[in-house]
Each structure stands twice: as C-alpha cells, then as structure tokens.
Amino acid sequence: MKFIVKENYEEVCKEAFKIMKEVVDKGNSTLGLATGSTPIGLYNLLVEDHKTNHTSYKNIKTFNLDEYVGIAKSHYESYDSFMKRNLFSHIDINMDNVNLPRGYAEDLEQECKRYNELLENNTVDIQLLGIGANGHIGFNEPGTPFDSVTYITNLTEKTIKDNSRFFDSISEVPTKAITMGIKNILQAKKILLLATGKNKAEAIKRLHDNVITEDLPASALHMHKDVIVIVDKDAYSLV
Ligand code: GLP
C-alpha cells in the first residue's frame, strides 16, 4: 500500500485524476466507481478533461460500489442520481455500460446475485474508494467478513449520522444498502482510495498502522498488491 500525502483536497483530486486518466485513456477499461463527497472533485476533473480534450468514455464500462435500499432511483440522494449528476450526464458514456446495484429492486436477494454475477464476469481495472470515518469501504461496515460478496448491509449508527448531512433529517437516511463485498473490491486490478479532512484522520491512522482486522474494513486492502491511498494533510495528521 502506497500513501501519497498532498497539501489539500484540490491537490488530492489532481493526483487521483492523473491515475484515473491513465486507465481511461486505454479506451475500453472498466472503472469501479464510488460516491460520497470525496470523489466529486475528481469527477469534476474528468468532466473538464472530457470537455476540453474530448477524452472518450464510449467504450468504458463502470460498476458502482453500492446503492441505498429504500429510496427511489430518482431520489436526489440515490447513488444512481448522484452518479448522473456528477459524472455520467456530462460525458459520452453509453448508459448501457453503466452498472449500479438496484437498491429499489423488488427481490433484493436476486438483485445481489445479479450484481455479483456481473462482477464475477467483469474485471475492474481500477476501483475508486472513499473511506467512512469508521473505516468502512463501499458500505462494508466494521465486522464484515473479508470474503463477503455483494449483499444487503445494515448501516451503522455512525454511518447514518455521517450521511444525514445529505438528507433533510436523520429519519430520512436509509438504514440499509446493497454493497459490493470486500472480496469483490479486492478483485480489482488496482485500487485508489481517497481521504481528506480531520474526520478521516483516525481511520487513516489505523489503516496506516498495517493491522489487518475486520474491525477496520479498509485494512483488507493490505492484502491487495496494488493500492494507492491519496490523502491530504488533515487526514494524515494522526499518522
Ligand atoms: C458513504 C459511501 C462510501 C464513502 C463514504 C465516505 O457511506 N458508501 O463509499 O466512501 O460514505 O463518504 P465521504 O466521501 O462523503 O466522506
């Protein structure tokens, strides 16, 4: 695991952009994408690059990490809406090549199976990740087995509280989600984790400590041979 420490959020996004761009430039890559506030700056840079340099996404495939259960696909805070708003609507991607778990599916077990099969049949070239303040990746909360594959997860109180800033009230925050499992995430060829701000400092310190434990889902990444973690000074402040 390689740590890159940058001055601030903007610099973190620029560094991440360089790495993502190399993969996108191959033309027919498969990207593993993430939501949350952290990747927004990177998505803005990808959109800007598409507009300025006409970088094409026509043959790019994408798989998102997770999706809330219990809100409509059209809800402003669904990850489907988030991805369209922040990336897909601004690039020339073929929406048939875009994949997200369907948290609104009637049969959620079947949906987990469907998504997992897709992941088994496609190799993700680069998986983008944020990290929860409690060390979660995707929506794999502390205690998740490292051999988990796409499943329905119960969000912890901490995650519900952290994500309540996006909703009108905490009671509106979904309590469940469909997420890629840790095993799915580790199958990507390359993993790029971004973290900024003091709120992530504790999780980044624990990740840097190099102790592999299910209490810190992100620590599973130590078992992967190509992981780059880009952080700002605040997120790195407890290391
Ligand atoms: C959410 C997402 C994660 C994300 C995390 C951190 O719960 N499921 O994929 O990494 O929160 O979000 P943020 O980047 O907003 O801090």
Strand order in the sheet with 176-179: 66-69, 176-179, 151-154
- The C-alpha angle with vertex 90 and arms to 137 and 16, in degrees rounded to 5, equals 40
Q: For residue 228, with 0-12 CB atoms within 10 Å meaning exposed, 13-18 middle and 19 or more buried, which class applies?
A: middle
Residue 32: predicted pLDDT: 98
Averaged over 171-182, what is the pLDDT? 97
State percent of the chain over pLDDT 70.
100
What is the average pLDDT value for the chain, to the nearest integer? 97
Q: Tell me if residue 134 is catalytic.
A: yes
Which helix (H) or strand (E) segment holds residue 227: the answer is strand 227-232
What does the pLDDT look like over 110-164, one tens digit per residue? 999 999 999 999 999 999 999 999 999 999 999 999 999 999 999 999 899 999 9
Residue 69: beta bridge partners? Answer: 176
Q: Residue 36 Cα, ligand 1 centroid: separation in angstroms?
A: 4
CA distance linking residue 62 with residue 146, whole number of Å: 23
CA distance linking residue 99 with residue 10, whole number of Å: 28
Residue 77: predicted pLDDT: 96
Residue 176: predicted pLDDT: 98
CB 188 within 8 A of CB 126: yes
Catalytic residue from among 99, 134, 140, 163: 134
Q: Residue 180 Cα, ligand 1 centroid: separation in angstroms?
A: 14
Residue 211: predicted pLDDT: 96
**CA quadruple 230, 23, 119, 179: dihedral positive or negative?**
positive
Residue 105: predicted pLDDT: 96
Averaged over 16-35, what is the pLDDT? 98
Residue 145: predicted pLDDT: 98
Q: Residue 27 Cα, ligand 1 centroid: separation in angstroms?
A: 27
What does the pLDDT look like over 39-85, one tens digit per residue? 999 999 999 999 999 999 999 999 999 999 999 999 999 999 999 99
Which pLDDT band, with edges at 50, 70 and 90, does 204 fall under? very high
Q: Which two tokens stand for residue 212?
A: 């592999």
Catalytic residue from among 15, 50, 64, 66: 66
Which pLDDT band, with edges at 50, 70 and 90, does 96 fall under? very high
Q: What residue owns the CA closest to ligand 1's atom 10?
A: 130
| CB atoms near residue 43 (< 10 Å) | 24
Which helix (H) or strand (E) segment holds residue 118: the answer is helix 108-121
Backbone angles phi, psi at 208, to 5 degrees: -65, -30
Catalytic residue from among 141, 162, 184, 232: 141
Residue 12: predicted pLDDT: 98
Pocket lining: 135 vs ligand 1, CB cutoff 6 Å: no
